[in-house]
Structure 1
């Protein structure tokens, strides 16, 4: 655990986590949490993605005595009974069958409640079986998996790279912010920027791409501060050498510190105008070797990023179009009366 942590915040996160773990978790080890096909942005083209959320034992960090991240409730998707390798392989094969009719180019995104490289979550036999099935499918051009940086090493990267052959392989890591104090005091992430940099260095040396998840508006940041932090974190990520940025606007997950403070009226998810501003500024760093993606989870709901309600659906469409086309021009002409309200909101925070 990083030395930069706040005991009061950690204690509250742990209290909330322990209270809700058995309350929310169920047993469904023979099926993934979710899986679906969607139109998506591959690196240099538009194609389809099969998104698979495996039901693993859950994030080791969230299950630890540190309680995990202040905004993340994905650990509650983990079943009570720990799935073995056969179960995880069966889960993936069930999801994979739904993609049989999908045409090339196809990407596979494998999410867990924590880290694909953590062998307590995804044993080596399951990982290799899943990778071999992907490598045998000529339609698949990209594979993206998630992990925390402490599980990234040359051995596992080289093994994956060898199995996948010419498939573009990208490791997604939740950096959240390039500011160590914000990441560890407010998010309780448990690692520092140097750990992320080490993981990126090893990935680049083994021909593996890296995606940096950037959290828009962590707890305790004002709206304007959150905009500045996301922009600077994305620029820092590109300087470090990542291939992709995924902006993840904070949503209110059940059983989290974010939800606790949201219910007390002490947290508001980010405005959609803030997301547009961040994308406008960071898209100047786009080129043929970089992409910027914006997560649409929860957009327009009270627990997710939202504006006034009148313009939310239209902005959601524009954000999706930006991700697919990588064209910032689609964001330039959106207007709504609530834009001035957002500007006033940002200004009032600093008075």
Structure 2
């Protein structure tokens, strides 16, 4: 019997710890404090939960980053002031938001403001409570109709959310939660996110009671999974969300960036991002059960060094363009037709014992190489 062949709770716990420790060791943001200004600003169109399409301004403010950066694929600690004590002050956060909400001449029209901080907006270690509420007041006075932020669900509680919603007034709030997968092994060990089913469902209940819309993210092919398992993971996760009454979600094809476990696995020949046709296959299997939005603006982007999901040179751009159209319209007719390059995908179940064995072996490859 090969080592790690049993999907026992002790084996999974050990694997989770080792993956989490490696993920944290790989984190870096350098030693030089980055300027106190938004690190990313962009304008696009986004499909709202009710199906309408609206102009959006997307801003990522410079912050101290995520307070629990254990996820195996997330690169954002490279881009903020993670680990640099005192690099981002309360005043700096507020000043960035004040400048963000000022309408400038020639600025594209938008009704939605997506305001991200490379972590959990409602985590007090990242954005203090008083700063959160003051940001809500600034947004309320800015004339937008909808604010989108992101947070781990354990920080989304009634005592935290209620004053924020009151300060927003008529601005509708949407909170993005990176559930990533409904499968506990995939979510808590392979992705290594600190989200439990209990905290997620509790956050949904709190949000519903306060009239806040959920924006749920699911990954396509987290590290350690195959393309065939990835499709099953998306389908089962959608079934779970639909059972909770969630009406839509955002699908995030995994990209590979430096200083992450995913990058080290890719470098060692142990992982590849999902093929673009795997993304299409997952969408075709779930889009009739709930609204699917696709976060694919950066699939072939250059905002930071990454290895993106891809296909053959003849069809890759066409597939990306089609996914972007589908992200706006939600119409299956906008999905791409097949290409001769499309690799066969054997959609398989999530065999926890087999996945645990494989993940342990792949992790051991990194450990033996000194990563």
**Range into which the TM-score falls when normalised by the shorter chain:** 0.7 to 0.9
Secondary structure of the residue aligned to 2:101 is helix
- Structure 2, unmatched stretches of 5+, are 1-8, 352-371
Shift of 1:42: 2.9
Q: TM-score, normalised by structure 2?
A: 0.82
Q: Does 1:260 pair with 2:267?
A: no
Q: Secondary structure at the match of 2:25?
A: helix
Distance 2:31 2:251 in 1: 27
1:336 matches 2:342: no
* Partner SS for 1:173: strand
Measure the CA separation in 1 of the matches of 2:271 and 2:74.
15
Deviation at 1:186, TM superposition (A): 0.9
Q: What is the aligned partner in structure 2 of residue 292 from structure 1? A: 292
Q: Does 1:31 align with 2:37?
A: yes
SS at match of 2:114: strand
Q: Equivalent of 1:198, from 198, 202, 211?
A: 202
Structure 1 window deviating more from structure 2 (73-82 vs 94-103): it is 94-103
Structure 2 counterparts to residues 307-346 of structure 1, below 5 A: 307-331=311-335, 334-339=337-342, 342-343=343-344
Distance in 1 (CA, whole Å) between partners of 2:33 and 2:103 is 22
- Cα deviation, 1:253-307, whole Å, max 9, x if unaligned, reads 2101110010011101001111111112221024xxxx42111154248711111
**For residue 46 of structure 2, what is the aligned residue in structure 1?**
40
Once residues 34 and 88 of structure 1 are traced to their aligned partners in structure 2, the CA distance between those partners, rounded to angstroms, is 14
Q: Equivalent residue of 1:215, what SS? A: strand
Superposition map of 1:43-58 within 5 A: 43=49, 44-58=51-65
Residue pair 1:50, 1:99 contacting (<8 A) in 2 also: no
Residues 14, 300 of structure 1: alpha-carbon distance in 2 compared, 3 angstrom cutoff:
same
CA–CA separation in structure 1 for the residues paired with 2:182 and 2:56: 28
* Offset of residue 33 of structure 1: 1.8
- TM score, norm. by length of structure 1: 0.87
How many Å separate the matches in 2 of 1:189 and 1:310?
36
- CA–CA separation in structure 2 for the residues paired with 1:153 and 1:9: 26
Q: Is the 8 A contact 1:247 1:295 kept in 2?
A: yes
Check if 1:88 corresponds to 2:90: no
The answer to whether the 8 A contact 2:297-2:324 is kept is no
Q: CA deviation at 1:17?
A: 3.2
Does the 8 Å CA contact 1:172/1:212 hold for their aligned counterparts? Answer: yes
> How much has 1:315 moved relative to structure 2?
1.1
Residue 5 of structure 1: how far off its partner (Å) = 4.8
Higher relative CO (CA 8 A, sep ≥ 6), structure 1 or 2?
2
How far apart are residue 29 of structure 1 and its match?
Answer: 4.4
Say which SS state the counterpart of residue 220 (structure 1) adopts.
Answer: coil
Cα RMSD for the two superposed structures: 2.5
Give the match for residue 65 of structure 1.
none
Paired residue for 2:117, among 112, 115, 124? 112
- In 1, the alpha carbon distance for the partners of 2:347 and 2:237 equals 20
Cα shift readout 1:214-251 (whole Å, capped 9, x = no counterpart): 01101221111100111221231132233430111111
Structure 1 distance, partners of 2:113, 2:105, is 12
Unaligned runs of at least 5 residues, structure 1: 63-67
Say if 1:29 and 1:82, in contact at 8 Å, map to a contact too: no
2:59 is aligned with 1:59:
no
Q: How does 1:1-351 map to 2 (within 5 A)?
A: 5-8=12-15, 10-15=17-22, 17-22=24-29, 24=30, 26-43=32-49, 44-62=51-69, 68-79=70-81, 80=84, 81-97=86-102, 101-102=106-107, 106-138=111-143, 140-286=144-290, 291-300=291-300, 303-331=307-335, 334-339=337-342, 342-343=343-344
Count of aligned pairs:
333
C-alpha displacement at 1:96, in angstroms? Answer: 2.9
- Alignment CA distance shift 1:344-1:142 (3 Å): closer
Q: CA deviation at 1:128?
A: 2.0
